[in-house]
Chain A
Amino acid sequence: MAIRRFFEQAYLYHKGRQAAFNAEEFVLLEVGYPLLTMIFHCLIASYCYGTNDLGEWVVGNSFLLCVNSCIFGLGIVFMNERYTGRIRSIIASPCNKIALILANGIFPAILAIIASFLGLIVGVIVFQIDYSKVDFVYIFISIIVAMISASCFGLLLGVLGLLTDSMHMVLNMMEGLLLILTGAEFPIEQLPICVQYVSWSIPLTKSIKAVKGIRVGDYKNYWLLLLLELLSGIVYVVLARFLFAVVEKETRKKGSFDYY
């Protein structure tokens, strides 16, 4: 019963997020625009590196396609709850808050997985990327792990929506940082050492490295990198729950639940 309610809640959250758009707009937002951005970044790479073998960038940018649903979709969850005045009911209700946070992430994670696969397919069609030497099971596992981690990170950011009214700015900033720090566009080894530590602590860096490795036949660190990615996802959820508890306490004191 509880599991059914969890998935019902997850579907309702998804419906609430997408209700304003019809099918064409949904495709444009979730698929069209992200894929266009991916092609744009691959073209920059093609010009900069003077190569037609864009496999490395297609992989990196396909993983980054999750930003739309995992970061922007989930990042505004609690801000929207405040905006619509529902946050009081959520905080006052006796429901499990971690289940509520996770329910928000189910559909964005599924959409992100689909978007990443579409990214790889577009790579084959537009840039003639050859994946024949790569075992697709490994890519599939990496995408699932990466999207779980990214969704958890999105939820952590979403909790910040209880603190600030400028979530659009925070999320755009995160998108920019992911672009630079995940190694999707250039090797993170080019960054200063201290920034490289930050790179390893954000989502996608590990899974992108793992998939880039298996593309060239290097399976040595594959499982370790994915384990680290999964662990970081768990850490983001725990941090999200902790932050939610702290913020809940603060907002109860200040009475600042609502947006207005």
Chain B
Amino acid sequence: MKKIVVIYESMLVQMRQSFVRPMFKFCLFFNPIISTILLYEMYINSGETNYFAYVVLGSGLMGLWGCICFSSAGDINRERHSGTLAIIYTAPVSFREIVVGKIMGNTILSIFSFVMSLLVAKILFHIEIDIKNPFYFLFSFVATIVVFVIIATIVAFLLMLSRKTELYMNCIEVPLIMLSGFVFPVDLLPKPLQLFSRLIPSTYAVELLRITACGIEDINNFWNKVVLLTGISLLYVLGARLLYRIIDKRVRIKGNLNVV
């Protein structure tokens, strides 16, 4: 119960803090507009008729991941620079719950970037929002968000090790977008990279979203992907717990939670 309260309180504080930052507002409002326009203008000559599956979903997911990635990774940097990272790290409540709460707060706000992409697509380009299996789509969307939270948590833990968070957080956005097939199928990547992308849970989450948006043709295929997604995500959660223990030890030895 105490853990839930910590996560909830951390989430509320995070949402208030994030929303006043101009850069977060940019990620929330402006970034999805740019992505939607760019993808629409590129897809307009592609012969692809289902704009929702690639343009709206692609830009929406890019916006969602961008918000979660930059704010969650950036929060470690901000806490470090304001000198509070060491304080919240050694607070009586677990740092893990505080970080998860922060990421959940950012994620809830970030959903608006997806809505923004939908609105831009509908208003500016009159793209038809036709989701063939809405219930399954909603299920897949929730699964996608959970997966993003898990990945962002791992990234936030990893970034605790370096004082150059700003540099690394810029380098994690595009690889995940590319390897998970947000805007084009992963089959387009070279074979070794395809294998790598199969180890990332967001690849299955994106496939589920696309399958449910276009209409499920083989329900077994859908559930197979759900099982794979759940299995890999659980492995990631276990990995995150292990990683936290290792990082916890290293951070205490190195003492690099402050700027100097």
| Interface stretch of the complex, out of B7-15, B172-180, B215-223, B240-248 | B172-180
Instruction: Give the bracket for the number of chain B residues in contact with chain A.
Output: 20 to 34
A1 within 8 A of B: no
Interchain CB contact (< 8 A) of B164 among A20, A48, A177, A180: A20
Interface residue stretch chosen among A101-109, A137-145, A164-172, A223-231 = A164-172
B1 within 8 A of A: no
Question: What does DSSP make chain B's interface, helix, strand, loop or mixed?
Answer: helix
Per-residue CB proximity of A23-60 to B under 8 Å, as 1/0? Answer: 00100110011001101100111111110000000000
Q: Is the CB of A169 within 8 A of B26?
A: yes
Q: Assess whether B188 is in contact with A48, with CB atoms less than 8 Å apart.
A: no
B47: chain A residues within 8 A (beta carbon): 50
B171, A33: Cβ atoms under 8 Å? yes
Does B26 lie within 8 Å of A172, measured CB to CB? yes
Is B253 in the interface zone, CB < 8 Å from A? no
Show 11 A/B contacts (Cβ-Cβ < 8 Å), sorted by A: A40-B177, A47-B184, A47-B185, A169-B22, A172-B30, A173-B26, A176-B30, A176-B34, A179-B34, A180-B38, A190-B41
Interface string of B35-62 (1 = CB under 8 A from A): 0011101111111100000000000000
B46 touching A40 by the CB < 8 A rule?
no
Q: Does B5 contact A (CB under 8 A)?
A: no
Does chain A have a CB within 8 A of B23?
Answer: yes
* B123 interface residue (CB < 8 Å to A): no
**8 Å CB contact of A185 from B42, B171, B178:** B42
Q: Does B96 contact A (CB under 8 A)?
A: no
Interface 0/1 of B12-24, CB less than 8 Å to A = 0000000000110
- Distance in Å: Cβ of A225 to nearest Cβ of chain B: 22
Query: How far apart sit A179 and B59, CA to CA, in the bound complex (Å)?
Result: 14
Is residue B85 contacting chain A, with contact meaning CB distance below 8 A? Answer: no
A186 within 8 A of B: yes
B170 within 8 A of A: yes
Per-residue interface assignment for chain A, residues 102 to 138, with 1 indicating a CB less than 8 Å from any chain B CB and 0 otherwise? 0000000000000000000000000000000000000
Contacts of B149 in A (CB 8 A): none
Whether A169 lies near B38 (C-beta < 8 A) is no
Q: A48: which of B34, B42, B174 is its contact (CB, 8 Å)?
A: B42
Q: Does A21 contact B (CB under 8 A)?
A: yes
Q: Are A29 and B46 in contact (CB under 8 A)?
A: no
Contacts A169-B26, A180-B34 given: A21-B167 contact, CB under 8 Å?
yes
**A78 to B196 CA separation, bound complex (whole angstroms):** 42
Contacts of B167 in A (CB 8 A): 21, 25, 28-29
A32 CA / B31 CA spacing, docked (Å): 22
Nearest residue, chain A, Cβ from B187: A47
- Supplied contacts A20-B164, A173-B26, A176-B31, 19 more A-B pairs, CB within 8 Å: A21-B164, A25-B164, A28-B167, A32-B171, A33-B171, A36-B174, A40-B174, A40-B178, A43-B178, A45-B42, A49-B45, A168-B22, A168-B23, A169-B22, A169-B26, A176-B30, A179-B34, A186-B45, A190-B44
